């Protein structure tokens, strides 16, 4: 998927927080440790550095929802993160995004914190960011 494709799908999947632009995707894809996993109708963008993986965003086309695509993307994200040496994965999500929170719980993530009022709705109302994490690999004991 090109940055334009990613931005188009992200815009279809998100109204809040605001969808990311093609330029933002291009910049992220050029970053160290960044990786993209895709399936028709969806993608997950992550970054793995120093034993940690961050799910930057995941998007599923509204017409492809409730068919297991999000779960498959999460599994592929975790597998790729482990391949890149990650032992822990983390993410953040708006507290109002119940479908995403349910997906993350089903994938084994647990809420580990909150950023109060981190997001702002278009009307200015604050929304918390929920922080989630999950152990995805085992340390081999050789890391400092």
Sign of CA dihedral 33, 73, 128, 105: negative
What is the C-alpha to C-alpha distance for residues 59 and 16, in angstroms, rounded to an integer?
Answer: 12
**Cα dihedral: 63, 78, 75, 59 (round 10):** 0
Asked about 92 being catalytic, the answer comes back as yes
What is the C-alpha to C-alpha distance for residues 47 and 3, in angstroms, rounded to an integer?
Answer: 16
Alpha-helical segments (H) within the chain = 3-13, 22-29, 69-83, 98-106
- Measured in whole angstroms, how far is the alpha carbon of residue 106 from the centre of its chain? 14
Asked about 104 being catalytic, the answer comes back as yes
- Point out the catalytic residue in the list 78, 87, 104, 119: 104
- Point out the catalytic residue in the list 54, 87, 92, 119: 92
Q: Report the catalytic residues.
A: 92, 104
């Amino acid at each position: 998927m090109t940055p334009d494709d990613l931005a188009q799908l992200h815009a279809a999947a998100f109204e809040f927080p605001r969808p990311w632009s093609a330029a933002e995707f291009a910049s992220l894809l050029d970053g160290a440790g960044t990786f993209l996993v895709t399936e028709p109708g969806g993608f997950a963008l992550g970054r793995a550095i120093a034993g940690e993986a961050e799910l930057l965003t995941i998007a599923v086309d509204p017409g492809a929802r409730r068919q297991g695509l999000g779960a498959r993307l999460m599994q592929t994200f975790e597998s790729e993160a482990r391949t890149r040496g990650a032992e822990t994965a983390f993410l953040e999500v708006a507290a109002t995004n119940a479908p995403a929170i349910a997906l993350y719980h089903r994938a084994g993530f647990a809420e580990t914190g909150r950023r109060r009022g981190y997001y702002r709705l278009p009307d200015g109302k604050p929304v918390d960011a929920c922080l989630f994490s999950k152990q995805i690999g085992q340390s081999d004991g050789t890391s400092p």
